[in-house]
Amino acid sequence: MKGILGKKVGMTQIFAEDGKVVPVTVVKAGPCLVVQRKSAEADGYEAVQIGLVEDQPPRKVAKPMRGHFDKAGVAPMRKLMELPVSAGDENSEPGSQIKASVFAEGDHVDVVGTSKGKGFQGVIKRHGFSGGRATHGSMFHRAPGSIGQSAYPSRVFPGMRMPGQMGNKRVTVKNLEIVRVDDEENLIYIKGAVPGARNSYVALREAKRG
């Protein structure tokens, strides 16, 4: 499976060949380095662990993680992810580089990121409830209403939509199309929006159903 780590730069728009305006999200993808090669004999499955190379590497690294990076012969990195690979993949040894060119125009990817945190919100903003009437003496405006029965079963069912923390969760948006790839600047232009704020980390994986 192809994949890469990156940072969300922001959104813009580009013009397609037929003149249509396409909204895109720009992701500065990579370069990434392979940190660890996992095998079925040692770990029970075939995968590689890759890390994102940044302009400012972390200054404080725990001793176990520093030893982990030293074993691979790479500098410490903040963000790591795993990708499944085949047993005979030769480009997955520690120290191998992965750049934005791993993807091409027209490919479809699943983008994983952390959504924007919006704090504690009510049911109208969090779940899209319509609310009650605003006139004629109504005292029911933005409340959730009934959340269950009284006599039976005398409890609230799990998954009931109620007020609570909104956002700041891991979100995966599937089957997004890559419109353009800039190898020199390590930029990938993805059609549509991806989760997260500007400068947040995102992971791009080859779409499972694309």
0.85 exceeded by the pTM? Answer: no
Mean pLDDT along residues 37-46: 85
Dist. CA 146–CA 135, nearest whole Å: 21
pLDDT one-digit tens code per residue, 113-158:
999 999 999 999 999 999 899 999 999 999 999 999 888 989 999 9
pLDDT one-digit tens code per residue, 150-209:
889 899 999 999 999 999 999 999 999 999 998 888 899 999 999 999 999 999 998 887
What distances in angstroms separate CA 143 from CA 66, 135, 140, one per listed residue?
51, 15, 6
Burial group, residue 120, by CB count within 10 angstroms (0-12, 13-18, 19+): exposed
Mean pLDDT along residues 87-114: 83
193 backbone dihedrals φ, ψ, rounded to 5° = -100, 150
Confidence of residue 27 (pLDDT cuts 50, 70, 90): very high
210 pLDDT higher than 70: no
pLDDT one-digit tens code per residue, 2-15:
888 999 999 999 99
List of domains in the chain: 3-118+164-206 (2.40.30.10)
Confidence of residue 89 (pLDDT cuts 50, 70, 90): low
